[in-house]
Amino acid sequence: MERFRILADEHVPRVFVTVLESNGFEVETVQDRFGQRTNDRQILERCAAADLVVLTNDRDFLELGQRVDHSGVILYSDLSILLDDPLAAARAITAIDRAYSTESLRNRIEWLDGWTRY
């Protein structure tokens, strides 16, 4: 089964992007893919077209994700989830990847915090 592809929002630490990549995920950053001034709605719409799941702690995506079609959003509430134990956070994203197909993750919002026990 193919893993979903991830778009890391601007607040995702580069070190965590590296951890995800070393765990077999294809990860792009918002800055690299879209540049600096792309608004959240455009990010969701463009990610839907490219089958990219957004990884973010920006709660604007919570509300937007209920109004705009998207490929999936993984939200985390606290940056320490990614920094204190990046391997546990990567395992949690792997668990989400195993639990959902690319199609079943479409238009879903998953809280990473709830998956960190996996």
Nearest 5°: phi and psi at 96? -65, -45
Helix axis angle, 86-99 to 14-22, nearest 10°: 50
CATH class of 5-115: alpha beta
CA atoms within 13 A on the CB side of 47: 34
Q: Quick one: how far is CA 36 from the chain centroid?
A: 18
Q: How far apart are alpha carbons 114 and 103 in whole angstroms?
A: 21
Nearest 5°: phi and psi at 31? -60, -45
Q: What is the pLDDT of residues 12-67, one digit of tens each?
A: 999 999 999 999 999 999 999 988 788 999 999 999 999 999 999 999 999 999 99
Given the DSSP bridges, would you call strands 27-29 and 52-56 parallel, antiparallel or unpaired?
Answer: unpaired
| 52, containing H or E segment | strand 52-56
Say what the pTM is: 0.94
In the structure encoding, which two tokens stand for residue 2, read together? 């193919």
Q: What is the pLDDT of residues 74-103, one digit of tens each?
A: 999 989 989 999 999 999 999 999 999 989
Q: How far apart are alpha carbons 57 and 76 in whole angstroms?
A: 5
